[in-house]
Structure 1
């Protein structure tokens, strides 16, 4: 993972949660990787493979939705206090274009409001063409409910 020099580094708690989230079996199956993560922002990417496409050999819509949620969560985690977690309580998305097998997709999430109990974010997904140009394929608005929750991560279980 990379972290922006313009913001404070992630707390040990945020790093632990982020690593547990990105190393979860489903995220690993989809092949998502973190490009940049800072408080209130995250960029991730994946390549469309046979495992995550649909019958038309384009990225499955459910994968787009879930990876937008994951990317938003990574932006959220970096803002949480130790011992705090967030649960998605609302998700609204629009898919505007298909992405073929073998193409790369980047997801970018930004926190738009971080309140006492609720956090709001906006996420965009872009397919990257051979020349590196980005084309918007999906957008989403998400809200997450913040709560105190003790989590047991794989790293904690292994220790």
Structure 2
């Protein structure tokens, strides 16, 4: 596991949300999250902002497997569509993949599932920039 991926996993926000592991291979990322009290809204369902956040994190993690040490990726645009709710205790899975990578921009998508049901999708555009 790369140092950069370990830093993503150990980010205090991600730890607070319940992320314990992130897979990153061949431009694909994966996060499995059990819905806990830190990620639900007042109605007791998964907060939409968590879907947004972890869809972006999952996309970045997958992209990390393709980036060299001198390149960083920052979110340029993200569109998230939430289709159904997830409840406390549910286990959801975020899976991302690179759709197209250019020299300075990359297009990715993340699908969020609960069992076999898709609960959300995200389209993410990241700008590729030199590391400082």
Q: Quick check: TM above 0.5?
A: yes
Which of the pair has the greater relative contact order for Cα pairs under 8 Å at 6+ separation?
A: 2
Taking only aligned residues, the RMSD between alpha carbons, in angstroms, comes to 1.2
> Aligned-pair distance for 1:36?
3.0
* Larger proportion of strand: 2
- Residue number in structure 2 paired with 1:135: 117
* 1:118 aligns to 2:118 (yes or no): no
TM-score by length of 2: 0.95
- Structure 2 distance, partners of 1:32, 1:105, is 11
Unaligned ranges ≥5, structure 1: 1-9, 129-133, 151-159
Moved over 4 A (4+): none
* 1:42 aligns to 2:29 (yes or no): yes
Residue pair 2:71, 2:130 contacting (<8 A) in 1 also: yes
Unaligned ranges ≥5, structure 2: none
State the number of aligned residues: 132
- Residue number in structure 1 paired with 2:15: 28
TM-score by length of 1: 0.80
Residue pair 2:59, 2:96 contacting (<8 A) in 1 also: yes
User: Which is greater in Rg?
Assistant: 1
